[in-house]
Amino acid sequence: MPVYEYTALDSSGKKLKGIIDADSLAAARQKIRHTGNYPVDIRETVPVSRTEKGREFTSLHLTQPVRQHEINVTTRQLATLLGAGIPLVPALNGLIEQTTNQSLKKIIAQIKDAVNEGNSLTSALSEHPRLFSKIYINMVRAGEASGSLEVVLEQLAEFGENQQAMKSKISTALMYPIFMALVGTVVLFILITFVVPTITKVFADTRQALPLPTIILINLSGFLQAYWWLVLALLIGLAFLVRYIVRRPRGRRAWDRLKLSLPLLGDLNMKIAAARLGRTLGSLLRSGVPLITSLGIVKNIFNNILLAEVIDEAMEHLEKGGSLSETLRESKWFPPMLVQMLAVGEQSGAMEKMLNKVADNYEREVETKIMAMTTMIEPVMILVMGLIVSFIVISILLPIFEMNQLIK
């Protein structure tokens, strides 16, 4: 059944906007009139998503972006409605009425339309891969198969909120140092390129021998003033070159290895990967998704070739009758505590419980470590900025002191 977006006037002449599903344009117009409103403009939304050249495109030209927290809220609301005994289609109708985001409202209407035609909720969600991840769709599939859809949706909402909270904490912790670094770099560039030359011009006119720091400052300032565009072009070119190399198979492998091997950052990245593995795999297993299927989903969340290869090896090992902990123990990219907790979970039959404990522990460690790193970055940035400014000040003052000595 098509979905229509409409603009109408109510009995008082106030303009209203909304969406409605109907068999035809005429039926949609009649439905709007039955509500006591006068339709002004009715347009059919674009049909379901399509694939073009291997890339997924959503069905709607989304004028309002759909954020992850809105998906989480909608998931929790749907779980609450289903838990109250409301059938799926009326529950989706309730979501359409509660949702304020017009883009999300259209998508929910399309999902409801697909379900109303006899499709499963999993099939309807899979038509919108940009909004609903593989983890989301597979957990819903498991919930539909086991008859516990409301429980799985509650778990999905909790999982999404935890992931969003973790990302938010990391972003908030890194925002201030990154902002200060950018501002400091811009200020120093302006100072050296445009302010310093007006001061050092006086020393050049005196034609006296200048100290080495002053000569270095004058040459650096002159170079930046004349070739700042070249420096900017080189930086942009370097960024594109790195991006090109990283997109190549060998370059991507080297980049992923570097991310896991760098001092401080390598340990942090491994703990983030362990937290994601524990949280995602635990949620999938708790929802009834088989272990090998869950691992196939989990390997896509790492965004790291080396970690994905370890998971592939683990899947092969499991198919031969081995255990997950044995494969991860042979790899150097996963922390020992994760391997030990997995082994305990495999022996006790409570793997999802152990995985959730591991995720809780590593999420706390990641948050603590990031806070410690950002706390350390601030004084280091202040020290570096202070040294650069001190060099500029000394380079300017040294010739002045020498001129005073000559005058005396």
Residues 150 and 197 in one domain: no
- Find the DSSP H helices in 86-211: 88-98, 102-116, 121-125, 134-146, 149-190, 196-206
Residues 341 and 368 in one domain: yes
Positive or negative torsion for Cα 198, 200, 201, 202:
positive
Is residue 85, in this structure, part of any structural domain at all?
yes
Tell which residue, 169, 110, 104, 141, has the closest CA to residue 293: 141
The pLDDT of residue 173: 74
The pLDDT of residue 62: 44
Is residue 165, in this structure, part of any structural domain at all?
no
Residues 133 and 197 in one domain: no
Is residue 138, in this structure, part of any structural domain at all?
yes
Coarse DSSP helix, strand, coil percentages of the chain, rounded to the nearest 5 percent: 75, 5, 20
State both tokens at 278.
Answer: 């524990």
Residues 215 and 191 in one domain: yes
Is residue 57, in this structure, part of any structural domain at all?
no
Is residue 94, in this structure, part of any structural domain at all?
yes
- Contact call for residues 273 and 365 (beta carbons, < 8 A): no
Is residue 41, in this structure, part of any structural domain at all?
yes
Residues 143 and 180 in one domain: no
SS3 assignment, position 246: helix
Q: Any idea what the CATH number is for the domain that residue 19 is in? A: 3.10.20
Question: How many whole angstroms separate alpha carbon 157 and alpha carbon 314?
Answer: 28
- pLDDT, tens digit, 9 for 90 and up, residues 329-369: 888 888 888 888 888 888 888 888 888 888 889 888 888 88
The residue out of 160, 185, 211 marking a domain boundary is: 160
pLDDT 10s per residue in the chain (408 long)?
A: 566 777 777 777 777 777 776 777 777 777 777 777 777 777 776 544 433 333 333 444 445 688 888 888 888 888 888 888 888 888 888 888 888 888 888 888 888 888 888 888 888 888 888 888 887 888 888 778 777 788 888 888 887 887 788 778 777 777 877 888 888 888 888 888 888 887 777 776 666 677 888 888 888 888 888 888 898 899 999 999 999 998 898 898 999 899 888 888 888 889 888 888 888 888 888 878 788 888 888 887 777 889 889 998 988 888 888 888 888 888 888 888 888 888 888 888 888 888 888 888 988 888 888 888 878 887 888 888 888 888 888 888 888 777 666 555
Is residue 185, in this structure, part of any structural domain at all?
yes
The residue out of 160, 186, 211 marking a domain boundary is: 160
The pLDDT of residue 61: 44
Residues 32 and 90 in one domain: no
The pLDDT of residue 58: 41
CA dist 352 to 36, 280, 301, Å? 53, 10, 18
pTM, entire model: 0.67
Q: Any idea what the CATH number is for the domain that residue 153 is in? A: 1.20.81.30
- Contact call for residues 43 and 25 (beta carbons, < 8 A): no
The pLDDT of residue 236: 94
Residues 80 and 191 in one domain: no
Is residue 169, in this structure, part of any structural domain at all?
no
Residues 19 and 134 in one domain: no
Residue 378 sits in which domain range? 175-408
The residue out of 104, 125, 160 marking a domain boundary is: 160
Residues 281 and 141 in one domain: no
Residues 153 and 231 in one domain: no
Residues 201 and 272 in one domain: yes
Residues 274 and 320 in one domain: yes
The pairing of beta strand 55-57 with beta strand 38-44: unpaired
SS3 assignment, position 59: coil
The domain tally of the chain equals 3
